[in-house]
Chain A
């Protein structure tokens, strides 16, 4: 019991007229009578509801036509059940409606067994089996959560909505190893291996209507490392991704050939969280290798790079302002898109994506928030479909959008 008490002391010493108090042991009679109360905390149910309006002018990001849209709906419900001190079951269903951004409907966001294989004062190791979330990038695990991500629309060069359902998680296994002490700080190491199904709609979003074959993800391997120095407001991270896809042409008729795709993605990120100011950013490089597809002997190997920097300022405890700049190009040998236009006829501005975002959020209560933002975008490099761009609808290099979203969670 004494060791348990000492643990509590880590929560602090000195200042403020408050108590930390714990109930450490109950006699058998009382424990039995309160067992139901205790057990109720082994099962947890949470969820969120959010609805917004979004207006895009000059691109098919949400619609093929410019008009105010209510296709900004995100709902989720999750449950967690602690089987014992070692095993936990957890799952979440989400419903999304985002127009052209991703497939409309319900999906399993995660459904996993959380196995706590080692836990001590300084170390924790968990293995997640089943469908798990991508926990490797700065906002990859919170991109689904409207009130936890920093903006309604995330930086598309990293958190590309057209790729959302493949990047958001995987079916397989993941391990998280955490270390925490007062000298070196907090370390998190994540490793995951799995794959995601690609729905027909997802395939059309990426490849367009003409690709009548079947695309699938063969594997997705990711690793990441995060470090927060002791008592520091900074957190630094890096991540590595390697993923293979394949495309099998239709047996009847197909414009495209059998293909293998390799996607590699490397990021470095930093996060500073002060009392009023927050700074964050990610720099990244992607490599996309295509063998086949356009023709049986085609070989395309592109390296793209980009970054975004973001700041948030807490004007009051409830009102937060946001500013962000994002700059990304798909091919390091063709940053301005002139080669793309000369070789394919696709307008040059499909080779890059730049976005200036200003926004604000206001917390009405601890679980009711409204967010609003405006985006000035240059380039069509993060519009769908990706493989066969649509310059007829996306006829402008510059386009804008604004959105307002109300969100409630429990």
Chain B
């Protein structure tokens, strides 16, 4: 979670939902194994103390998907159904699949129950 750059030295841009969004809470707690308020403490310190750059907060899951699609080297999370609707059906049902859609390569990691 502390990694700032990809292997090619390009900066990782992270998009997240607001702190109180249920998807953010669930993803933070269940996947990152960290409580949302802990992330907030770390990110607030980065943002308002000059130490670094915190993730970019977007207002909705739709906006998050669009932001990741438009930003090379970015990362985010999304609900399966919403992602399927917004991106492409072929992308939504596979694990660790790379898709070259003509607009670039989107890498999807499916996280199952």
- Once the chains are docked, how many angstroms separate the CA of A176 from the CA of B73? 25
A16-B27, A82-B11, A110-B49 in contact; A124/B108 too (CB < 8 A)?
no
Q: Are A133 and B20 interface neighbours, CB within 8 A?
A: no
The residue in chain A whose Cβ has the minimal distance to the Cβ of B104 is: A26
Shortest distance from the beta carbon of A106 to any chain B beta carbon, whole Å: 16
Chain B residues within 8 Å of A41, by CB:
13, 56, 71
- Once the chains are docked, how many angstroms separate the CA of A347 from the CA of B10? 62
Q: Is B38 an interface residue (CB 8 A)?
A: yes
Q: Are A4 and B44 interface neighbours, CB within 8 A?
A: no
The residue in chain B whose Cβ has the minimal distance to the Cβ of A11 is: B31
The residues in A between 30 and 88 inclusive whose CB is less than 8 angstroms from any CB of B are 30-31, 34, 37-38, 41, 44, 46, 48, 76, 78, 80, 82, 85, 88
Q: Are B51 and A141 interface neighbours, CB within 8 A?
A: yes
Shortest distance from the beta carbon of B49 to any chain A beta carbon, whole Å: 4
A20-B77, A124-B4 in contact; A363/B111 too (CB < 8 A)?
no
The residue in chain A whose Cβ has the minimal distance to the Cβ of B103 is: A30
Candidate in A26, A91, A92 with the most chain B CB atoms within 10 angstroms: A26
Q: Are B1 and A10 interface neighbours, CB within 8 A?
A: yes
Q: Are A7 and B7 interface neighbours, CB within 8 A?
A: yes
Chain B residues within 8 Å of A10, by CB:
1, 3
Q: Is B47 an interface residue (CB 8 A)?
A: yes
What does the 1/0 interface line of A166-210 toward B look like (CB < 8 Å)?
000000000010101000001000000000000000000000000
Q: Is A343 an interface residue (CB 8 A)?
A: no
* Size class of the contact patch on chain A: 35 or more
Q: Are B19 and A119 interface neighbours, CB within 8 A?
A: no
Chain B residues within 8 Å of A5, by CB:
96, 98, 107, 109
The residue in chain B whose Cβ has the minimal distance to the Cβ of A123 is: B2
Candidate in B10, B48, B53, B103 with the most chain A CB atoms within 10 angstroms: B48
A20-B109, A20-B111 in contact; A135/B78 too (CB < 8 A)?
no
Q: Is A251 an interface residue (CB 8 A)?
A: no
Chain B residues within 8 Å of A15, by CB:
30-31, 111-113
Q: Are A22 and B106 interface neighbours, CB within 8 A?
A: yes
- Once the chains are docked, how many angstroms separate the CA of A202 from the CA of B5? 42
- Once the chains are docked, how many angstroms separate the CA of A7 from the CA of B37? 24
Q: Is A23 an interface residue (CB 8 A)?
A: yes
Chain A residues within 8 Å of B31, by CB:
11-12, 15-16, 18, 20
Q: Are B5 and A85 interface neighbours, CB within 8 A?
A: yes
Q: Are A3 and B7 interface neighbours, CB within 8 A?
A: yes
The residue in chain A whose Cβ has the minimal distance to the Cβ of B66 is: A37
Shortest distance from the beta carbon of B60 to any chain A beta carbon, whole Å: 13
- Once the chains are docked, how many angstroms separate the CA of A18 from the CA of B29? 13
Q: Are B96 and A23 interface neighbours, CB within 8 A?
A: no
Q: Are B53 and A135 interface neighbours, CB within 8 A?
A: no
- Once the chains are docked, how many angstroms separate the CA of A21 from the CA of B36? 20
Chain A residues within 8 Å of B73, by CB:
22-24
B4 is contacted by which of A1, A20, A116 (Cβ under 8 Å)? Answer: A116
Chain A residues within 8 Å of B56, by CB:
41, 44
- Once the chains are docked, how many angstroms separate the CA of A1 from the CA of B99? 12
- Once the chains are docked, how many angstroms separate the CA of A141 from the CA of B43? 12
The residues in B between 49 and 88 inclusive whose CB is less than 8 angstroms from any CB of A are 49-53, 56-57, 65, 68-81, 83, 87
What 5 A-B pairs have minimum CB-CB distances, sorted nearest first? Answer: A26-B104, A12-B31, A366-B18, A148-B44, A366-B19
**What are 23 A-B pairs at a CB distance below 8 A?**
A3-B6, A4-B7, A5-B98, A9-B109, A10-B3, A11-B31, A11-B75, A16-B27, A20-B31, A21-B65, A23-B70, A26-B105, A44-B56, A48-B48, A78-B47, A109-B50, A124-B2, A141-B45, A142-B41, A176-B51, A186-B2, A273-B37, A365-B18
> Which A residues are within 8 Å of any B CB, using their own CB?
1, 3-5, 7-27, 30-31, 34, 37-38, 41, 44, 46, 48, 76, 78, 80, 82, 85, 88, 90-92, 109-110, 112, 114, 116, 119, 121, 124, 126, 128, 132-133, 135, 141-142, 144-145, 147-148, 176, 178, 180, 186, 231, 273, 275, 314, 317-318, 363, 365-367, 409
> Which B residues are within 8 Å of any A CB, using their own CB?
1-11, 13, 18-21, 23, 25-27, 30-33, 35, 37-38, 40-41, 44-45, 47-53, 56-57, 65, 68-81, 83, 87, 92, 96, 98, 102-113
